[in-house]
């Protein structure tokens, strides 16, 4: 039997380019875990999250961060965890760290994550994103699930001029094209 070695390829081949001072970078180094909160277990989950990752439970509009781990509220009873990961299956570790208090599914291969940054990044995003991104209403760590160019997307502010954009990996190329085009028009 022949032993094949398979090498995983990022959805966008590890895209990393600057367009008019806006850097667009694929973050394929991140693992994504979805955590669903059983009905009525909020207090228990809050405690488990603190014990496991030292991070507070995120509100509907603001993600929480501790070190490399970021937790985003993706739905009323659901959270999404972003963390550095290259393990093929991070689910068992997360399940045991959270003491089985949440329902866990690996979403690492379902979302594409783009990091966009630069002084004029908001000029590019205002062409794409229906959310008001002014720092007074969308401050650091603010998060929102919305739609960009008809594609479902999630946006998180990671700094004054940097954001994470997430969308379905199946349309990663179209999503990147939309972001690239907006960056071109803004420059």
Partner 1 sequence: MIINHPLLGPRDAAEFVYKGDVGLIDRPDGMSDDLDTFHDYAYLRDNPAGEHQELWYHEQGDRSWLVVTRSTLTHEITKVELARDVARARGRSS
Interaction site with partner 1 (CB under 8 A):
39, 60-61, 73-76, 130, 144-147, 152
**Nearest distance from residue 159's CB to partner 1, in Å?**
22
Rounded Cα gap, residues 39 and 60, in angstroms: 16
Nearer to partner 1, 39 or 43 (CB): 39
Nearer to partner 1, 109 or 137 (CB): 137
Contact 183, 129 (CB under 8 A): no
Q: Is 117 left (phi over 0), alpha (psi -120 to 50) or beta?
A: beta
**Nearest distance from residue 137's CB to partner 1, in Å?**
8
**Nearest distance from residue 21's CB to partner 1, in Å?**
28
Nearer to partner 1, 41 or 68 (CB): 41
């Amino acid at each position: 039997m022949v032993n094949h070695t398979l090498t995983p390829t990022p959805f966008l081949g590890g895209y990393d380019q600057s367009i008019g001072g806006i850097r667009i970078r694929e973050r394929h180094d991140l693992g994504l875990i979805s955590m669903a909160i059983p009905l009525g277990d909020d207090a228990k989950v809050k405690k488990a999250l603190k014990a496991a990752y030292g991070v507070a439970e995120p509100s509907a509009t603001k993600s929480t961060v501790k070190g490399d781990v970021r937790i985003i509220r993706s739905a009323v009873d659901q959270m999404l965890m972003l963390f550095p990961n290259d393990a093929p299956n991070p689910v068992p570790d997360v399940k045991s760290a959270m003491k089985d208090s949440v329902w866990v599914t690996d979403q690492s291969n379902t979302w594409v994550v783009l990091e966009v940054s630069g002084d004029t990044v908001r000029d590019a995003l205002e062409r794409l994103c229906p959310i008001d991104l002014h720092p007074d209403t969308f401050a650091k760590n603010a998060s929102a699930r919305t739609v960009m160019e008809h594609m479902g997307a999630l946006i998180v502010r990671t700094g004054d001029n940097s954001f994470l954009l997430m969308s379905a990996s199946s349309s990663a190329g179209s999503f990147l094209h939309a972001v690239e085009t907006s960056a071109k028009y803004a420059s």
